[in-house]
Structure 1
């Protein structure tokens, strides 16, 4: 019976759900994912759960919003004049835009509303303010050298 340890690379399948049960992501769309334990590539709760799992085992891990993508911050919803955007592609709700914060740090904004003169964009992660649940299956373990 082998279980992964810190430094091992694991292959996982998962389904990510909002607190209300709505599926918002899955490896069915993108294929199994590899994660190196201890490298900070996923939530600490996921790493902790994987450390005790065996290949083929399934676990459901619930993560509250404070430990997932954090609470929503209404100050991150901003209006941007359309004149400040390139003409193509035309902004559409759901579109991701890349911007820079005043300190130069890159930031992703999501278009939430498109008007004639301006757009409304949201700098919150789409799952900010949400409790989330991972339905997780361990597929393989590649032990660290």
Structure 2
């Protein structure tokens, strides 16, 4: 059987889990994902696992937090005056909003708490500080021309 190489496009299904086994993402509704190997579209550990797999094969790939979404940084949790936010939609915990970091880069903030005067928002990725596991299934290989 053929295994994929850098430059090939693969189709995979995956289930993303926290260390405790809680599923936090998968290809369920969106369907299988196409990835071109070697383009940095996915974690290097997954690319490495895929290059040794055959179509139909399944594998679990554990990725420690420092190689995944990084450590959780408390300085990324900030209070924003409600007066600085648009009135609609009303802020709700879990809601994502776009902001700009001090160096001008786009930043996604997640509202974690809504008070009368301020909103607490977290700029950490929701999986920051967590080890994660991808259960991947290789569905198809399209070899590079």
Structure 2 unaligned segments of length 5 or more: list them. none
Query: Where does residue 53 of structure 1 map in the other structure?
Result: 53
Query: Where does residue 72 of structure 1 map in the other structure?
Result: 72
Equivalent pairs counted in the alignment come to 145
Deviation for aligned residue 1:52:
0.7
Deviation per CA, 1:30-78, whole angstroms, max 9, x where unpaired?
Answer: 2110111000000000000001100000000000111110100000000
Query: Where does residue 15 of structure 1 map in the other structure?
Result: 15
Query: Where does residue 86 of structure 1 map in the other structure?
Result: 86
Query: Where does residue 122 of structure 2 map in the other structure?
Result: 122
Deviation for aligned residue 1:102:
1.3
**CA-atom RMSD, angstroms?**
0.5
Runs (4 or more) in structure 1 with deviation over 4 Å come to: none
Structure 1 unaligned segments of length 5 or more: list them. none
TM-score, normalised with respect to structure 2: 0.99
TM-score, normalised with respect to structure 1: 0.99
Q: Secondary structure at the match of 2:10?
A: strand
Q: Which deviates further from its counterpart, 36-45 or 25-34?
A: 25-34
Q: Secondary structure at the match of 2:127?
A: coil
Deviation for aligned residue 1:29:
2.5
